[in-house]
C-alpha cells in the first residue's frame, strides 16, 4: 500500500493517521516529539525537527503524497517537497493562512468580507487614524492560535502601546465586532469540479479556545448555505487542494464576516468523526490522493465538547470516563497525551440526539459529571 506523509503529529495528525490506516494506506509522521499523539498510529515516525533535511528527503522519497496538520509548518519545506512528491495543501496556501495580513487580503480579494482591519507591518503603519478600528483587537500576524498573541484595545494610545509590547512584530488591528454567533464551514476541494462542504457548525469559545460545536448550527438554512458557498468560493480563489476550514462571525443583522481560515481539518469538524457519512480526516486522505471527496451528509444532530486539561483532577488523575461510556449516544475520543495542562486539548466527545438542542443539553450534563 502507498505511504502517506504528514508534517506534524498532534491530535489532528493522529486522527489523520487512523483514517489513512483504516483506508489501507501506510503513514509516516514527521514530528520532533517522541510522544507525539500521532506516533502510536504511524508506521514510521521521523522524530526530527520540521526543517530536518534528511527527514524531509525521506518523506519526499517514500511518500506518495504529503500533507500537514499544523499551521506553522515551514511553507518552503512544503514547496521543496512538492518538487518530488504530491503535496497538499500547497506551500503557497499554507503561507497565506499563516499570515493574517495575507490571509485577510486574500479573503477580501475573493470578494468576501472581513472585520475592518489595519495591517501593521512597521511602526509607521500605526501612525494613522485608528478610530475606524477601535475598540479593537490587536493580533500578531503570525503564530497566534487559541487567542494567544491577541490584545484587546480601546484607545489609540492603548493600541500603540500594545503594538510596542508585542515587540513591533507584524500585526493586524481588527475592529471588535458585536457577534451574534460564530460558525464554521469546512470544505474539501480536489479540483473546481470536485468539492464537498460539511454542514455548518455553530461554535462557542471559552477563554479564546473552542469549547463546543453544535451541528446543525442554529441559524437560518439560507445563512448556513451562504457560509458553505463562501467557504467554497474561497477554496476556489486559492486554487486550494485539501481540507480548508473557514471560521465566520454572524453579526446582529445576520450578515457573515470571515474571521480566519485553517489549511487543514479543524477542531470544529471533529463532529464529523461521529455524525457524517465521511469524516474530515477521510476527506484529507481523499484530497491528498486526488480521489473524489466523500459525501458529507449529516447522519444526526450532534454536539462536540472539547476536553481540555482543565477537566483532569488536581493530582493528574483522569476524569471519570464511565459517565460517557454509559451514555450510548456519546463517543469519547482521547488524544493519548501524557501531560494534562490547563488549556491543552486532551480529547473531545460527541453526543448525538434527535435535535441539536437536545444534544447540547445532554452534552453539558455529561461534561458536568466528569
Ligand atoms: P484559533 O485557535 O481559532 O486559530 P486564533 O488565536 O487564531 O484562534 P481568532 O480566531 O482570531 O484567534 O480569535 C479568537 C476568538 O476571539 C474568536 O473566535 C472570537 O470569539 C474572538 N474574536 C476575534 N476577533 C474578533 C473580532 N474582530 N470581533 C469580535 N470577536 C473577535
Ligand atoms: Mg487562528
Ligand atoms: Mg479562530
Q: Ligand 1 center to residue 55 CA distance, Å?
A: 34
The average pLDDT across 223-242 equals 98
Look at residue 340 and tell me if it is in a domain. yes
Whether 144 is in the pocket of ligand 1, judged by its Cβ within 6 Å, is yes
160 is a domain residue: yes
- Which residues partner with 171 through β-bridges? 120, 140
Q: 345 with 267: CB under 8 angstroms?
A: yes
HSE, CB side, 13 Å, CA atoms: give it for residue 225: 3
Residue 241 contacts residue 298 (beta carbons within 8 Å): no
Q: Is the CB of 135 under 6 A from ligand 1?
A: no
What cell numbers appear for 337 in the block? 497525551
251 domain residue, yes or no: yes
pLDDT for 147: 74
Residue 219 gets which letter from DSSP?
Answer: S
Do residues 285 and 16 touch, judged by C-beta distance below 8 A?
yes
276 shares its domain with 191: yes
Residues with a beta carbon under 5 angstroms from ion ligand 3:
247
Using an 8 Å Cβ cutoff, are 107 and 146 in contact?
no
Q: 120: CA distance to ligand 2 center in Å?
A: 18
| Residue 202 pLDDT > 90 | yes
The CATH number covering residue 9 comes to 3.40.50.20
SS3 call for 97:
helix
Assigned C-alpha cell, 67: 500533507
Clarify whether residues 43 and 162 are in a common domain: no
User: Is the minimum distance from the CB of 27 to ligand 1 under 6 angstroms?
Assistant: no
147 and 16, same structural domain?
no
Query: Of 130, 146, 175, which residue constitutes the final position of a domain?
Result: 175
Taking CA atoms only, the protein residue closest to ligand 1 atom 15 is 208
Q: Is the pLDDT of residue 149 over 90?
A: no
In this structure, the answer to whether residues 229 and 131 fall within a common structural domain is no
Asked if residue 287 and residue 186 are part of one domain, the reply reads: yes
CA distances from residue 113 to 15, 105, 130, 179, 243 in whole angstroms, order as listed: 32, 10, 19, 15, 21
333 and 306, same structural domain? yes
pLDDT at residue 40 in the model: 95
- State the average pLDDT over residues 133-143: 95
| 247 CA distance to ligand 1 middle (Å) | 9
In a shared domain, residues 138 and 249: no
Q: Whose CA is nearest to atom 16 of ligand 1?
A: 208
Whether residue 159 lies inside any domain: the answer is yes
* Nearest-CA residue for atom 26 of ligand 1: 176
Convert the pLDDT of each residue in 51-84 to its tens digit.
999 999 999 999 999 999 987 899 999 999 999 9
- Is the CB of residue 113 below 6 angstroms from any atom belonging to ligand 1? no
Model pLDDT, residue 308 = 96
Is 101 contained in some domain?
A: no
* pLDDT higher than threshold 90 for residue 143: no
Q: Report CA(109)–ligand 3 centroid distance (Å).
A: 20
What is the reported pLDDT for 246? Answer: 98
Asked if residue 195 and residue 170 are part of one domain, the reply reads no
User: SS3 for 366?
Assistant: helix
| Atom from ligand 1 closest to the CA of residue 150 | 6
At residue 317, the pLDDT reads 85
- Ligand of minimum distance to the alpha carbon of 115: 1
3-class SS of residue 137? strand
**Spatial distance between the Cα atoms of 140 and 127, rounded to a whole number of angstroms:** 17
Q: 223 and 138: one domain?
A: no
Residues 353 and 339 occupy one common structural domain? yes
pLDDT at 314 over 90: no
CA 343 to chain centre: 16
Compute the average pLDDT of residues 118-137. Answer: 96
Q: What grid cell was written down for 277? A: 457519512
**Is 349 domain-assigned?**
yes
Residue whose CB lies within 8 A of the most ligand 1 atoms, among 10, 118, 147, 202, for a mutation test: 147
Which residue among 208, 247, 268, 344 has the greatest number of ligand 1 atoms within 8 angstroms of its CB, and so is best to mutate? Answer: 208
Where would I find the H helices in 41-90? 53-62, 75-81
Question: Is the minimum distance from the CB of 111 to ligand 1 under 6 angstroms?
Answer: no
Regarding whether 320 and 191 lie in a shared domain, the answer is: yes
Burial of 316 by CB count in 10 Å (0-12 exposed, 13-18 middle, 19+ buried)?
A: exposed
**Does 290 have pLDDT greater than 80?**
yes
Question: Which atom of ligand 1 is closest in space to residue 262's alpha carbon?
Answer: 4
Q: How confident is the model at residue 323 (pLDDT cuts 50, 70, 90)?
A: very high
Residue 171 binned pLDDT confidence (cut-offs 50, 70, 90): very high
**Residue range of the domain that includes 190:** 179-369
Among 72, 87, 102, where does a domain finish?
87
Number of domains comprising the chain: 3
What ipTM is given for this predicted complex? 0.97
pLDDT in the model for residue 313? 82
Identify the three-state secondary structure at position 360.
helix
- Whether 97 maps to a domain, the answer reads no
Per-residue confidence (pLDDT) for residue 316, from 0 to 100: 76
Residue 107's SS3 state is: helix
pLDDT value at residue 315: 79
Residue 146 CA to ligand 3 center (angstroms) comes to 7
User: What is the distance between the alpha carbons of residues 367 and 328, in angstroms, rounded to a whole number?
Assistant: 15
- Closest ligand by atom to 148 CA: 1
Point out the domain boundary residue: 69, 87, 105: 87
Q: 92 alpha carbon to ligand 1 midpoint, in Å?
A: 23
Round the average pLDDT of the chain to a whole number and report it. Answer: 96
Give the distance (Å) from ligand 2 centre to CA of residue 360: 25
CA torsion sign for 278, 328, 270, 346 is: negative
pLDDT bracket for residue 19 (50, 70, 90): very high
Is residue 348 located within the same domain as residue 205? yes
Amino acid at each position: 500500500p502507498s505511504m502517506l506523509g504528514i508534517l506534524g503529529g498532534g491530535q489532528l495528525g493522529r486522527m489523520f493517521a487512523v483514517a489513512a490506516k483504516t483506508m489501507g494506506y501506510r503513514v509516516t509522521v514527521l514530528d520532533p516529539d517522541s510522544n507525539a499523539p500521532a506516533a502510536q498510529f504511524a508506521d514510521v515516525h521521523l522524530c526530527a525537527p520540521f526543517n530536518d533535511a534528511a527527514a524531509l528527503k525521506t518523506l519526499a522519497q517514500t511518500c506518495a503524497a504529503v500533507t500537514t496538520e499544523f499551521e506553522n509548518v515551514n511553507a518552503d519545506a512544503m514547496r521543496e517537497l512538492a518538487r518530488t512528491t504530491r503535496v497538499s495543501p500547497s506551500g503557497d496556501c499554507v503561507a497565506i493562512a499563516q499570515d493574517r495580513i495575507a490571509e485577510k487580503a486574500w479573503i477580501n480579494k475573493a470578494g468576501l468580507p472581513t472585520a475592518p482591519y489595519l495591517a501593521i507591518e512597521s511602526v509607521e503603519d500605526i501612525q494613522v487614524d485608528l478610530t475606524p478600528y477601535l475598540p479593537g483587537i490587536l493580533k500578531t500576524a503570525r503564530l497566534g492560535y487559541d487567542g494567544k498573541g491577541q490584545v484587546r484595545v480601546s484607545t489609540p494610545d492603548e493600541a500603540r502601546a500594545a503594538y510596542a509590547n508585542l515587540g513591533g512584530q507584524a500585526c493586524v488591528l481588527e475592529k471588535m465586532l458585536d457577534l451574534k454567533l460564530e460558525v464554521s464551514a469546512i470544505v474539501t476541494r480536489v479540483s473546481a469540479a470536485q468539492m464537498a462542504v460539511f454542514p455548518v457548525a455553530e461554535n462557542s469559545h471559552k477563554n479564546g479556545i473552542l469549547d463546543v460545536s453544535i451541528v446543525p448550527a442554529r441559524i437560518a438554512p439560507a445563512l448556513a448555505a451562504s457560509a458553505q458557498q463562501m467557504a467554497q468560493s474561497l477554496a476556489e480563489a486559492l486554487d486550494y487542494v485539501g481540507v480548508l476550514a473557514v471560521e465566520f462571525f454572524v453579526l446582529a443583522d445576520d450578515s457573515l464576516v470571515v474571521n480566519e481560515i485553517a489549511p487543514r481539518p479543524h477542531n470544529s469538524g471533529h463532529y464529523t468523526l461521529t455524525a457524517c457519512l465521511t469524516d474530515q480526516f477521510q476527506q484529507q486522505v481523499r484530497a491528498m490522493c486526488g480521489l473524489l471527496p466523500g459525501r458529507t451528509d449529516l447522519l444526526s444532530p450532534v454536539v462536540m465538547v472539547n476536553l481540555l486539561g482543565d477537566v483532569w483532577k488536581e493530582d493528574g488523575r483522569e476524569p471519570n470516563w464511565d459517565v460517557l461510556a454509559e451514555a450510548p449516544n456519546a463517543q469519547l475520543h482521547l488524544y493519548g497525551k501524557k501531560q494534562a495542562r490547563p488549556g491543552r486539548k486532551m480529547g473531545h466527545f460527541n453526543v448525538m440526539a434527535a435535535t441539536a438542542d437536545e444534544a447540547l443539553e445532554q452534552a453539558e450534563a455529561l461534561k458536568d459529571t466528569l
